[in-house]
């Protein structure tokens, strides 16, 4: 029987976090590093990844920083090769890379719609497929997809008017459930986190403009903070969740409770 500390301990494991150079991705990377995991962070801007990696190395774990556009098959394959050459394994994959484009549905440009689809859905699938093959070989792994409360319900356009983003996050929700069923016999557990509104540099302006509306959707009456996603990520990455697969964990201040 394991102790609770042992269940949450990630010492020696290898975790890949896409979109890990800033924001929620970096917060989750930090949480996993604090639990002992070695870290791979990737994003399209390799320089920003390396800057973020320095802070993670100070925690005392090994960190690989890599540039990667997760919507491109050859770049994801190259990332996987880098990870395997450096660590020889992958235990955890967090599919966090994603973007939104804000426009009314009747005005959404097709190229921006496709861009969001390619990054949020195709990127999540490609990373799951390519790193999943390594997990299948080892007969174990944890995949954590980053969905959104926007993928669970319709959104007030005055708060979040991005049908492309909302559509992709709904797709990620069901991709998570279906992949969990299909890979359960490989002992690969696939879950998703659905964050609510978290304050970040790229949405601060929107928050200031629509603060009353945004907080009006959140029973806790505040946005998510810099530590609020760590626990969920460590839980789903660790042995503490070894009988949990196909679930969507909302971290949203109660947004989906009403």
Positions marked catalytic: 165
Alpha helices for 95-189 (secondary structure H)? 110-117, 123-138, 163-183
Distance CA 12, CA 32 (A): 11
CA distance 199 to 133: 35
Tokens representing 190 are 């696939």
Contact at 8 Å (CB) between 124 and 172? yes
- Write out the two tokens for 202: 């790229």
Alpha helix (H) residue ranges in 39-162:
46-57, 73-87, 110-117, 123-138
**Is the CA virtual torsion 204, 205, 209, 213 positive or negative?**
negative
Cβ of 147: how many Cβ atoms within 10 Å? Answer: 29
């Amino acid at each position: 029987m394991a102790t609770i500390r042992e269940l949450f301990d990630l010492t020696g494991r290898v975790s890949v976090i896409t979109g890990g150079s800033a924001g929620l991705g970096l917060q989750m990377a930090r949480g996993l590093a604090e639990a002992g995991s070695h870290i791979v962070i990737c994003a399209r801007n390799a320089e920003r990844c390396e800057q973020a990696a320095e802070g993670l190395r100070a925690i005392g774990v090994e960190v690989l920083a890599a540039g990667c556009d997760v919507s491109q098959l050859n770049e994801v394959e190259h990332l996987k090769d880098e990870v395997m050459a450096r660590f020889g394994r992958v235990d955890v994959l967090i599919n966090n890379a994603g973007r939104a484009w804000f426009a009314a549905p009747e005005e959404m440009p097709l190229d921006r719609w496709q861009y969001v689809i390619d990054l949020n859905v195709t990127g999540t699938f490609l990373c799951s497929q390519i790193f999943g093959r390594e997990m299948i070989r080892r007969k174990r792994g944890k995949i954590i997809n980053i969905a959104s409360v926007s993928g669970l319900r319709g959104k007030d356009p005055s708060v979040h008017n991005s049908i492309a983003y909302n559509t992709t996050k709904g797709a990620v929700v069901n991709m998570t459930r279906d992949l969990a069923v299909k890979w359960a016999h490989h002992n690969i557990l696939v879950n998703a986190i659905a964050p609510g509104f978290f304050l970040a540099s790229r949405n601060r302006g929107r928050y200031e403009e629509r603060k009353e509306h945004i907080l009006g959707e959140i029973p806790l009456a505040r946005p998510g903070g810099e530590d609020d996603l760590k626990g969920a990520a460590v839980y789903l990455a660790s042995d503490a969740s070894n009988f949990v697969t196909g679930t969507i964990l909302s971290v949203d201040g109660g947004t989906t409770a009403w």
